Amino acid sequence: MACGCGGGTSEAPPASLPAEQHDRERPRDPEPEANDGMTISGLTGHLSQEEISVGLDTKQERFLQCFARRLDAVDVLAGEIALTFHVDVTGHTAWVFAVRSDLGDRETEQCIVGVAASAHFPRPHGGEAEFTFPLAFDLPDDTRPALNWTPQRLARVLEEQVGVSARCRPAGSEAVYTATVYIARGGTVLSVGASSSTYDGVAGLECIAEAVRTWQMPNPGSYPAKVTFEVP
């Protein structure tokens, strides 16, 4: 597994995946981002990349298990998820959520967030801290990826579904929801995942996923399609 972590504009180098991990479970390196240093800064505190690794290196195998256990159900499953952590002054994870995800499988996303919630770090320097930690997961080499659709392929569907975000969004939240779906033959939704731009919108994610699962999508033909879009 290749894992990076960042806060603000900083992005630290990825950690490496243990060599013994099976190829089918091996995520890919996330796209490189600007790296302005090795310190991950948050509210008033900060954690170094090494300190973040203390909390997350031991979680890598369980992250992989979350992904691998869903490959039988969604054999084209692949993508990236970015986790935003809030770490309290004792080093405990106060909260964590998926701020971005194009994995396209709610069960996988919930499993990964659940594992991340148990992470414990060294005490942040200077107070509570936040950082974002990206994970990326690849298909096995012998699996053809899903057809890559743009949101324009769903233009009519999205127009018909305007108001879903407003209905699902908790009161007082201004979260923007993004969903990724795999579409099977006939236009049925094979799997759906979702992310919230803010922590206060997380409570609406299940509502979003449940709504999107019912949508009739365009027919991709004989092989599944994958598309990521902002939920209207």
Rg (CA), the chain: 18
Q: 172 is in which domain, residue-wise?
A: 147-230
DSSP sequence for 31-94: PP-----SEEE-SS-EEEHHHHHHHHGGGHHHHHHHHHTTTTT-TT--EEEEEEEEE-TTSBEE
Decide which of 104, 137, 170 is a domain's last residue: 137
- Bridge partners of residue 179, in order along the sequence: 194, 229
Check residue 2 and give its pLDDT: 37
Structural domain contains residue 1: no
Check residue 140 and give its pLDDT: 87
Q: Looking at the structure, do residues 82 and 173 belong to the same domain, yes or no? A: no
* pTM metric for this prediction: 0.83
Structural domain contains residue 142: no
Decide which of 119, 137, 155 is a domain's last residue: 137
Decide which of 112, 137, 162 is a domain's last residue: 137
Residue stretches of the chain with pLDDT short of 70:
1-43
Check residue 43 and give its pLDDT: 59
- Let me know: does 40 contact 46? Beta carbons within 8 Å: yes
Structural domain contains residue 17: yes
Token output for 172 = 């007082």
Structural domain contains residue 192: yes
Q: Looking at the structure, do residues 168 and 119 belong to the same domain, yes or no? A: no
Q: Give me the percent of the chain exceeding a pLDDT of 90.
A: 80
Q: Looking at the structure, do residues 119 and 151 belong to the same domain, yes or no? A: no
Q: For 121-204, where are the alpha helices, taking DSSP H only?
A: 155-160, 164-168
Structural domain contains residue 45: yes
CATH code where residue 45 lies: 3.30.1150
Check residue 37 and give its pLDDT: 41
Q: Looking at the structure, do residues 51 and 90 belong to the same domain, yes or no? A: yes
